[in-house]
Amino acid sequence: MRILVLSAYHADSHRCWLDGLMAHLPDIEWTVLSLPARYFSWRIRGNSLTWAMQQREVLSAAYDVVLATSMTDLSALRGLVPALCQIPTAVYFHENQFSYPQSAQQRDSVEPQILNLYTALAADRVLFNSEYNRSTFLSGVDTLMARLPDFAPRAEVAAGLANCDVLPVGIDLDLNAPRRLSAGIRLKVLWNHRWEYDKGPDRLLALVKECDRQGLAIDFYIAGQQFRNSPDEFEQIEAILSASDNLVLAQWGYVSDSVQYADVLASCDIALSTAIHDFQGLSVLQAVAAGCVPLVPDRLCYPQWFNAEYRYQSSDNLTEEAAACSAKLAELLVQKKAGRLSSVDISMLDWDVLAPKYLSVFEELSS
């Protein structure tokens, strides 16, 4: 089987998905066109023009399936390269623009949402990485259609999107590896997310302040991808952790070496999220796969993956949410001291489980 992959905004999570897919479906002949994850507004509108003008020979070759990410301007690309209209196509949504929190630097625009909608309608199959992603996309589309001034085919669009499916990004699990969490007097907490506003640095800051106020014995490992301009909260977080009598700053900054990062994951007890945007939560899931216990907000994708005991109460009030999260951390510290921390089963997300499901979709499309 020959599959053409179109990844128009090839961010780390998209790369992780594609690398896993290709590794676990090695019998497929993969051809990949990707564009770097920068210049967002130009990338989402310009990818069809870029590829149609510069990669026409690749696009016009014979394939059994086209697999595009949701950032791909599929409807325009099919218009510019008619040969693509003859190939069955699946679109994969890592995220959707209907439920993406805007930063202060972004301008309000409906165009990314329209592109998501047109791309979904132009595909033969639409796949989402979580139920949260699927449901927020469908409700967002319906809300948008209700707002349009006239000639909005609301019912027809809803019918066209009725058969969307959920198929998560896989995680590489070593199911035979020991997953023991030893007893100890200090709790090792990992925060391993992008250093951006949508991962809740303001909420992390509020939590660190509350943990310091309570005198909790916690070692914080603040990792994750950093950028040239990081939110101001990180300077305050570092200062508080460095000056605290009870909290310890055990790791600060991105760990680029994969072996060293694996050691960090293996040394920690808790995988913490404070995010206001996570459509699957790969950073948390990868840490859980390494044996960490998740502690995540009761929102976004997390109720799909983890039981209530691993979630803290969400709130728009940062102080209230910090209190709820710190209370959970205090409970987990008691369990750590008693040697009762135990890892969580996420075997349903193993690539060995999910790859055959992807293959089934591709085979149905190409038959």
Residue keyed to tokens 């006239």: 150
Best CA proximity match to 4, nearest among 362, 364, 367: 362
Task: Give pLDDT, residue 178.
Answer: 47
The residue-averaged pLDDT of 201-206 equals 98
Distance CA 155, CA 320 (A): 41
**Direct distance between the N- and C-terminal alpha carbons of the chain, in angstroms, rounded to an integer:** 11
The secondary structure of residue 94, as a DSSP letter, is S
Question: Does the pLDDT of residue 126 top 50, yes or no?
Answer: yes
Task: Give pLDDT, residue 103.
Answer: 55
What's the pLDDT band for 175 if we cut at 50, 70, 90? low
pLDDT digits (tens, 9 = 90+) for 272-303: 999 999 999 999 999 999 999 999 999 999 99
Question: Does the pLDDT of residue 184 top 50, yes or no?
Answer: yes
Question: Does the pLDDT of residue 365 top 50, yes or no?
Answer: yes
Residues 6+ apart with CB under 8 A from 240: 205, 208, 209, 212, 247
The residue-averaged pLDDT of 207-231 equals 94
Q: How many CB atoms lie within 10 A of CB 252?
A: 14
Task: Give pLDDT, residue 102.
Answer: 62
CB of 35 within 8 A of CB of 14? no
Task: Give pLDDT, residue 177.
Answer: 54
What's the predicted TM-score (pTM) here?
0.93
Give the chain's domains with CATH numbers: 2-170+351-366 (3.40.50.2000), 187-347 (3.40.50.2000)
Mean pLDDT, all residues of the chain: 94
Task: Give pLDDT, residue 108.
Answer: 67
Per DSSP, helices labelled H in the chain are 12-24, 40-54, 56-59, 74-80, 111-122, 131-147, 154-160, 201-214, 233-243, 258-267, 282-289, 302-305, 318-338, 351-366
Q: In this structure, is the dihedral angle defined by the CA atoms of residues 358, 364, 365 and 367, taken in order, positive or negative?
A: positive
pLDDT digits (tens, 9 = 90+) for 16-63: 999 999 999 999 999 999 999 999 999 999 999 999 999 999 999 999
Query: Using H for helix, E for strand and C for coil, what is the string for 246-260?
Result: CCEEEEECCCCCHHH
Backbone φ, ψ for residue 245 (5° rounding): -85, -15
**Percentage, residues of the chain above pLDDT 70:** 96
